[in-house]
Structure 1
Amino acid sequence: MTPTRLRKREIVGYGLGDMGFNFYWTNISTFLLIFYTDVFGITAAAAATMLFVVKIFNAFTDPLIGAFADRTQTRWGKFRPYLLFVPLPLAVIATLAYSTPDLGPTGKLAWAYATYLLLMTVYTSMNLPYSALSGVLTGDARERNAVNASRFVCGFLGGMVVTAATPRLVQGLGGGDAALGWALTMAFWGTAAAVIFAITFASTRERVQPARAAPSSVRQDLADLRSNKPWILLFLLALIIMVSITLRMTSAAYYFKYVVNRPELLATFVPAYLLAAAAGTALTPFLARVIDKRRLMISLMLASTVLSAAFLFVDASQIWLMYALQIALGLVLGPKSPLNFSMLADAADFNEWRNGRRATAMTFAASSFAQKLGTAVAVGVIGTLFTTLGYVPNAAQSAESQAGIVWLMSVIPAAFTGLAAVLMMFYTLDNPTMARIQRDLAARQPSP
């Protein structure tokens, strides 16, 4: 399907793009809720409800964004132009989302709704085409594994840098004024991300094209996905994994502030996970060569379930054990993202093989849709639990509230990854099946 092999420069250049996206995503998933509750002054219940509502609304716009990207035609390709024209508006909107105008309780909540909805919509309008780009850089399964491994190594490294640097940037740029510090910090990350996206745009090329140009409607694309069982399973997989990860990532700030009473440890705890995840991601091409992707994903989810559940038994004084489990979780969960995205590219190939139609961005909308829906579910769980157990910002927590935070770091995310392992037992696009599909698609390509 692909006439030329990918260059290392292109693999690395594509991967760098996810570092830029994590300058936003890690800040949102790790710090946004605590920014709303402890800096902007929105109640936990109101903030959680807002995040849930916006995520649900925005999740349903993802298929429309995917359909629009699939129908984009420019001299730069379908998906690369978004990396050129969207970064600047995204940086401005992110800065506004982390600003704290004095509008009163109702006005603050309205501001949060408006800026967060806009932030996530614009973010997706670039992230979804970027994800789809990995499906058209190459049709070779091993190269896809390498491309997506590069992406998530860079993404985890970006997340590690953000988690370690953001608290320091807020303090340094704000001079002790947290509100000012957050706005300036997001302006900094937005500028840095724009530079990285320009590099990704310049270093990549779209190669894979449908065997024949078969125009289809958005309704037809959606119908194809609804009948695509591997895509449905991958959507559910991404959703469940995102719930589990968001529960732990978002709860970590509360865990170290109110349970361990060492909030400064967050600056190394999350990066420890991300560095380990980057190492696990780097191993993905090797692991995928020796273990079928389906069996590998099941094994990873089962191991994650055990490690997350073990966190329930860690005492607040056992810092070393917290870090050991966190690092082990990073190594285990690192390969799941490149595997999932490689499988989504396989699902796009399966759709073209079966129907003669290729809707790459629409297929990859599964991941974006699942990320947002999964994050919404996780934040909803956190907000509901906090409200029920009597969470009070910037105050000593009750025993019930502390116990709830510990469960959010352990048993609850473990239950979700256990469910993910069960789902993957029904996935059918194993390595022999994909080899046959790739041969058939290659045979359909017109002669040069």
Structure 2
Amino acid sequence: MNKESQKLSVLEKVGYSLGDLAANLVFQTLVTYLAYFYTDIYGLENNHASAIILTVGLVAGFAFNPIIGAIADRTNSKWGKFRPWILWTAVPLGVIALLAFSTPNFSYKGKVIYAVVTYTLLLLLYAANNLPYSALSGVITGDMSERNSMSAYRFVAVMFAQFFVQVFMLPIIETVGGGDKAIGIEKVMTWLAVIGTIMLLITFFTTKERVIPKPEQKSSLAEDLKDLIKNRPWLIMLTLTTLIFITLAMKGGSYVYYFENYVDKDALANFLSPVLSSDLGQTLFGDNPVSAGFGLFNAGGIIFMIVGIGLSKKLADKYGKRDVFGIFLFISTLFILLFYFFPSESVKFMFVSQIFHGFFYGITIPILWAMIADVADFSEWKTNRRATAIIFSAMMVGLKIGLSIGSALVASILNSYGYDAGLETQSATAINGTKMLVSIYPAIPFLIGAGLLFFYEINKKMETQIETELKARRF
């Protein structure tokens, strides 16, 4: 294997990125709508929704991901270790994603059981698909510059998925459901399941595994786990990933409540009047200022996230992933905190703050997963054994724990502030709770995460050293 073989074509980078676009049609729906779906569409009580999201998520995080990671690292096929998992799970993941957001007419107890079963299966299949997919990024190429480039492609695709889910999905749900959100979300999820399955198959057929462990490498699961515990960068990245996804799930799942209960509807309608008064605007967003405002608010943040992603590789190549990630994570957090100070009618400032937050946070997005791939290299560099999937599985544990805690906190905090989905107008206390959920609460994990990076030792100098020495061993 020569150095040139580590270079990736544009086709392969795009093909790989489509896998994350597909997975994020599911993931972004979970982040943005799961709590809202359970409480306001499916009719579960706040505390039951919170318990389901937290309990199932933690079980899935601690049980499914390490098992899938260990099995994937020991998978041997003509397609490689990780690619076959993408093929095997493409169709089942689409089917269960549809079922998880369906609303069968069961008794209340039956609804709770159905939610538990479908959410459990969804997280199991998501782990079996997305964990090997993520680990694949660590073996497609050993070239760190190519890895940074591939991560940028990947997370532009993620932003497209996020853009659709957070900008257009709510208006589409209302339109295709004829005002019935339960019918609307089932129709939308049907199409997302079909499209996502096709994209995953494209990923399988367009990618290749190039970083192959030496044939003589043998390690037990116990040895792999022992290596992890001794790997301080891995411990930091596990904690950082958990904190990041607590914030993403908390603020992402809170915006719909924020727009429906806190933002002044008259001020929002006036701000959006140039859009809603046009035929194109009504076609894209409908005539409901709340759903249109929610969509356009997310659109501004996502568009500028994509701009930030475009700058990420150049900054990471020049200054190193750790420093760039920490600085821009901190700056992005400041624009989350600003939401605490906005009066309900300050719609313009809300949109501007979301745009700046999106831009600065966008710079960090590709870097997170590229750093995790670097941790796999760090482990191989230290131990002379490569266990890519088990390292990524630990990060997926962090993702699932963060998603579960963050999403559960949305329902739990709203419940503690007295939110009642059956009320037309919420109490002042409940409305304040929705404000806190998009400002103070989600800022805390981001700030802790930025502080953790002071203890992360893989800086630019070490990145270069690891890459050079591993290339010498492999070639």
The one of 23, 26, 34 aligned to 1:24: 26
- Alignment correspondent of 2:282: none
- Contact 2:172/2:184, CA 8 A, preserved across alignment: yes
Deviation larger for 342-351 or 259-268: 259-268
- Contact 2:131/2:393, CA 8 A, preserved across alignment: yes
The one of 439, 455, 468 aligned to 1:426: 455
- Alignment correspondent of 1:231: 234
How far apart are 1:366 and its partner, in Å? 2.8
- Alignment correspondent of 1:263: 290
> 3-state SS of the aligned residue for 1:131?
helix
> 3-state SS of the aligned residue for 1:35?
helix
1:297-330 deviations in Å (ceiling 9; x for gaps): 1111210221111111111111111111111111
Matches within 5 A, 1:40-51: 40-51=42-53
- Alignment correspondent of 2:386: 358
> 3-state SS of the aligned residue for 2:373?
helix
Q: Residue type matched to 1:163 in 2?
A: Q
> 3-state SS of the aligned residue for 2:138?
helix
- Contact 1:210/1:352, CA 8 A, preserved across alignment: no
The one of 140, 148, 151 aligned to 1:148: 151
Deviation larger for 218-227 or 144-153: 218-227
**Structure 1: how far apart are the matches of 2:165 and 2:126?**
17
Matches within 5 A, 1:234-245: 234-245=237-248
- Contact 2:87/2:204, CA 8 A, preserved across alignment: yes
- Alignment correspondent of 2:277: none
**Structure 2: how far apart are the matches of 1:335 and 1:57?**
32
- Alignment correspondent of 2:174: 171
**Structure 2: how far apart are the matches of 1:297 and 1:93?**
34
Matches within 5 A, 1:114-125: 114-125=117-128
- Alignment correspondent of 1:100: 103
Q: Residue type matched to 1:19 in 2?
A: L
**Structure 2: how far apart are the matches of 1:352 and 1:15?**
25
Q: Which runs of 5+ in 2 are unaligned?
A: 266-288
Q: Residue type matched to 2:41 in 1?
A: V
How far apart are 1:40 and its partner, in Å? 0.8
Matches within 5 A, 1:346-385: 346-385=374-413
How far apart are 1:292 and its partner, in Å? 2.1
How far apart are 1:428 and its partner, in Å? 0.4
**Structure 2: how far apart are the matches of 1:366 and 1:269?**
33
What is the TM-score normalised by the length of structure 2? 0.91
- Is 1:35 matched with 2:37? yes
The one of 336, 354, 359 aligned to 1:331: 359
How far apart are 1:212 and its partner, in Å? 4.9
Matches within 5 A, 1:50-199: 50-60=52-62, 61-199=64-202
User: Sequence identity of aligned pairs in percent?
Assistant: 35
Q: Residue type matched to 1:388 in 2?
A: S
- Contact 2:25/2:196, CA 8 A, preserved across alignment: yes
**Structure 1: how far apart are the matches of 2:322 and 2:34?**
34
Q: Residue type matched to 1:188 in 2?
A: W
- Contact 1:79/1:129, CA 8 A, preserved across alignment: yes
The one of 218, 225, 249 aligned to 1:222: 225
- Is 1:295 matched with 2:298? no
- Contact 1:243/1:378, CA 8 A, preserved across alignment: yes
**Structure 1: how far apart are the matches of 2:214 and 2:442?**
42
- Is 1:408 matched with 2:437? yes
The one of 238, 249, 252 aligned to 2:252: 249
- Alignment correspondent of 2:311: 283
- Contact 1:211/1:444, CA 8 A, preserved across alignment: no
How far apart are 1:382 and its partner, in Å? 2.1
> 3-state SS of the aligned residue for 2:114?
helix
- Contact 2:326/2:453, CA 8 A, preserved across alignment: yes
Q: Residue type matched to 1:430 in 2?
A: N
1:403-424 deviations in Å (ceiling 9; x for gaps): 1111111111112111111100
- Contact 2:319/2:460, CA 8 A, preserved across alignment: no
- Contact 1:30/1:250, CA 8 A, preserved across alignment: yes
- Contact 1:154/1:278, CA 8 A, preserved across alignment: no
Residue-pair matches, total: 446
Q: Residue type matched to 1:376 in 2?
A: S
Deviation larger for 379-388 or 415-424: 379-388
Q: Residue type matched to 1:355 in 2?
A: T
1:224-282 deviations in Å (ceiling 9; x for gaps): 11111001111111111111111111000000001114521112222322222122112
The one of 368, 371, 387 aligned to 2:415: 387
**Structure 2: how far apart are the matches of 1:423 and 1:295?**
12
Structure 1 stretches of at least 4 aligned residues deviating more than 6 Å after TM superposition = none
Q: Residue type matched to 1:39 in 2?
A: I
How far apart are 1:59 and its partner, in Å? 0.2
Deviation larger for 359-368 or 322-331: 359-368
> 3-state SS of the aligned residue for 1:108?
helix
How far apart are 1:76 and its partner, in Å? 1.1
**Structure 2: how far apart are the matches of 1:344 and 1:327?**
27
Deviation larger for 263-272 or 352-361: 263-272
Q: Residue type matched to 2:186 in 1?
A: A
Deviation larger for 223-232 or 266-275: 266-275
The one of 201, 213, 221 aligned to 2:204: 201
- Is 1:321 matched with 2:336? no
Deviation larger for 227-236 or 362-371: 362-371
**Structure 1: how far apart are the matches of 2:216 and 2:420?**
58
**Structure 1: how far apart are the matches of 2:363 and 2:204?**
25
**Structure 1: how far apart are the matches of 2:318 and 2:466?**
20
1:17-51 deviations in Å (ceiling 9; x for gaps): 21111111111110121111111110111101100
- Contact 2:332/2:358, CA 8 A, preserved across alignment: no
- Contact 2:61/2:398, CA 8 A, preserved across alignment: yes
Q: Residue type matched to 1:408 in 2?
A: L
What is the TM-score normalised by the length of structure 1? 0.96
- Contact 1:2/1:138, CA 8 A, preserved across alignment: no
**Structure 1: how far apart are the matches of 2:110 and 2:128?**
27
- Contact 1:159/1:271, CA 8 A, preserved across alignment: no
